[in-house]
Structure formats: structure tokens, C-alpha cells
Amino acid sequence: MNLAIGKNPLIVGLGKTGLSCIAFFNRINQSYHALDSRSDCAGQKQAQQDALCQSVTMNGLDGNQAQHKKFLEQSGISSLIVSPGVATRGALFDAATELDIEIIGDIELFARAINQDQNSRVIAITGSNGKSTVTKLIYDLMNTAGYSVAVGGNIGTPVLDLLTDPEQWYVLELSSFQLETTYSLVVEVATVLNLSEDHMNRYDSFQQYADTKLALLKFAKHQVIDIDELPELDGKYSDALRFGLNQQNNNSILNYDQTRRVIELQSNLSNAVHIFDTQKLLIPGLHNIRNVMTVLAICELADFKWTVEFKNYLYQWPGLEHRCSFVAEKHNVKFYNDSKATNIGATIAAIDGFAATSDAKIILIAGGDGKGAEFSPLATKFRKYLRALVLLGKDAEQIFEQAGKGLQSSIVADMKEAVTTAFKFSRPGDLVLLSPACASLDMYSNFEQRGKDFQNCVEALA
């Protein structure tokens, strides 16, 4: 397999993605070098014991540009394969650029591999929020319909691992980090769901972050665009399927009837109008109606044949854990887990979604590591829809100062106190929503652990 990466690629990062690169190189008998920024990690031993690995460098991002240049030249490095968690800036990458050494990621390796297979087709999803829900629902619908399909990328399985059992369709969730080092991916249908501030500790500006996401659309034969979320893209792509919740689009095959609360899809395959009753969906909120419309648009462009059975499957789909998922009802107060909301855009979407489909007042639990975000855009939503605000974690004080003043609020030490305090603030008919607007790493190993802690604390309530 000719991947045009040269004889001596360097894998940068020995986490989950780096290990998938090692496994891939073993399948194609490609020798390589390996490097990690840490002094030790789980992948270090595996690389050191691999006969194809020519060298392993720990603390590999230390040093100046001259030192890195010497290492790259002496080792004969032909390309850098960078894990998405490693920012492609600093002395190593400056040295690689000076030596005209290509810097790519695992998605680019995947692209070069499948570009040699004319039967493979890719659906790609990015955006600030909703990526995993849309990706998994598309996969589940296609899998249920009998398609030869695999799912991976930023969700679940690393893309190179998908190549061990090739499929006709690949549904990929892609992060901005992955897109930074991707150049030749050929996509059948792509979407950028929305854009809001995220990872501002990695990007120089919001525009740089947005441009990285939007670059995906240039790889695609067809684009799906929610013009309410990204109005600047309306009319930009001639092969785009456009839709919106806030207005009827006479030139779109996909519309939302707010009065009847139904989605109407004019299928090009059958010339039939398919009606989807949003009140039958198990996944709550207006933002999930947008997600479902995106899924319908993508499946239509992938020539999906809608039947009663698959419509019913859509209605019964339970959603993903930690994404506005229902936890329990205690004394007529409902609790929802949206721990995956790691930025302010996700939290705004959750609040708007519940406000549009329910009359309940919200007691919000938020806080954690804000990743350098500005929280003031939350202030209007908080004042309009919240009964109370409970904050915890590293940036609790900052959220209060920028968005929480004037509200019934409390800053607490841990999740148990957050849940009991939120319950005390609530009244019958209210809902308690964990939607942190922050990453979890200041208190937890990941957002899943945070969400499970919330669920356990809710279940423990009397």
C-alpha cells in the first residue's frame, strides 16, 4: 500500500490514536519511529517491543528547534503522524516545517488508504456540539437498514482500526484537532452542525477554530447546512441540502412545521413526502430536532430508503448517555444528564431545547474547566430560563461573575453537594439539568465519569 509517507514516519503521541497507528503500520509492514511528550505512558512499552519500531523518544517535545532538527535529520524522518491531542506548534513542528517534512494525522492516513478503494464512501460530521448524537444515529439507522457501515473517528474506534474489516460506508465524527492535519479525505456527504467557542486554549482566535471546522465541507460532494446555525453558508455550496427550523425553505426538500411539530422530507428517491412526528422522539429538546433533521438530510443524500419500520426505529432511539439523557424523577422533579456539554454553545443548546419544548423552570448545574472561554453569552439565557444556578469546579467563580449575578445561586465543593443543593432549589414540575459548559478534567478523568457521578448522586436522593 503506497501511502506516500516515506520510509521513516514518526508517530507523535502514544495514546489511543498512536497505538492505532502502530497497529496499522504492523498490518502493512511499515517501519516507524515513535515519540511522546510524557516521560512514560502506556504505549511506550508496546512501541519499544515492536520490531518495526526504529526508536522511541520520551519527553520528545522538550528542547529547542535546533535540537529537534538534528534529531529529525539523523533519524531520516520522512513524515510526522500526529495524534489529535498534540497541538502542531512548537519547536518540533517548526523544525519539521523547516525541513519540509509533512505533518499529517491518522484521518489523513485513513483517507490515503481508502482513496485506493473505489467502493468506499465516507459521511463526515463535525461542529461544536451534537457531533456524537448525529454520527451514532446515522450509523444505527444505516446498520439497521442493512448497509455495510462502520463508525469511528472522534467517537469510539480510531479510524485506522476500522480498516481491519473494510466496509462500503464509513460514518466519521471529526474534531477540529483531527481536521488540522487532514488534506485529502474524499467525502460523499459532510456537515458542520454549528460553531461556538471551544478549545480557545489551543486556537489563536474563534475564526481560526471555525475555519478549521468549515474546511471539512470542501472535501465533500454534498453538504448539509442548517442555515439557522450557519447563515453565512446559505447559498455558498451548489450541491448543499439546506434546511432551517425558523422558516419554511421553499427550495428545500426538508422543512419543520412548528405548528404541527413535524418534519417533512420530500424524498428524491420515491417522490413521496415522509412525515416525522417530533413529539414521538425520545431524545428531548429543540436542538435534537435539528440533529434529527441533519440525520434525515444525510441519509437522504446517501440514498436511504425510508420505511415505516425505520421511522419507528428513529422514534425509539434512546439517544446517547450524558447528552441530555433522562436520569430519574424525584418528587415531580426531573433530572437530566448533559455532561457532554463541555462548552457554552452546548449548554445554550440544551437550555434552548428544553425551553422550547417544556414549560418547566431549570435548575442548572454547571462548572469545571472553561478552557479559556468567555461565559457572558450565558447570562441572558440564565436570567430568562433558570430558577437557580449551582456551580462547581475550577471556573465556578468566573461563571458566576460573568453570567450568574442576580440569580438564586450557590457555589459547591462536589457533585453530591451540587445535586442536593439543586434539589433544594427546585419546585414540583421543575427540571435539574447538568450541562456544565466546561471540560471535566479539573475534577474527573473524563465527562463520562462526571455524568455517572451525577447519576449516582441523583439516584441516592431520598
Average pLDDT over residues 310-328: 88
Q: Which fold has domain 109-316?
A: UDP-N-acetylmuramoyl-L-alanine:D-glutamate ligase (3.40.1190)
Q: Tell me whether residue 129 is one of the annotated catalytic residues.
A: no
Which range among 29-33, 192-196, 235-239, 274-278 has the greatest average pLDDT?
29-33
Set 33, 131, 222, 340: catalytic member:
131
pLDDT of res. 199: 79
- Pairing state of beta strands 409-411 and 325-330? unpaired
The active-site residue out of 154, 255, 288, 291 is 154
Q: Read off the pLDDT of residues 69-123 as tens digits, 9 standing for 90 and up.
A: 999 999 999 999 999 999 999 999 999 999 999 999 999 999 999 987 778 999 9
Q: How does pLDDT run across 242-262, given as a tens digit for each residue?
A: 999 876 655 689 999 988 889
For cell 453569552, the residue is 377
pLDDT at 359: 82
At the topology level, CATH places domain 9-104 in Rossmann fold (3.40.50)
Domain range summary for the chain, segments of one domain joined by +: 9-104, 109-316, 325-459
Express each pLDDT in 346-381 by its tens digit. Answer: 999 899 988 887 789 999 999 999 999 999 999 999
User: Would the pLDDT of 425 be above 70?
Assistant: yes
Q: Is 337 a catalytic residue?
A: no
Q: Domain 325-459 has what CATH class?
A: alpha beta
Q: What would the mean pLDDT of 328-352 be, rounded to a whole number? A: 93
Q: Is 199 a catalytic residue?
A: yes
Reading the block at residue 299, the C-alpha cell is 441519509
Q: How confident is the model at residue 200 (pLDDT cuts 50, 70, 90)?
A: confident
**β-strands 409-411, 333-337 pairing:** unpaired
Residue 342 has a pLDDT of: 94
pLDDT for the residue 249? 58
Average predicted confidence (pLDDT) for the chain: 93
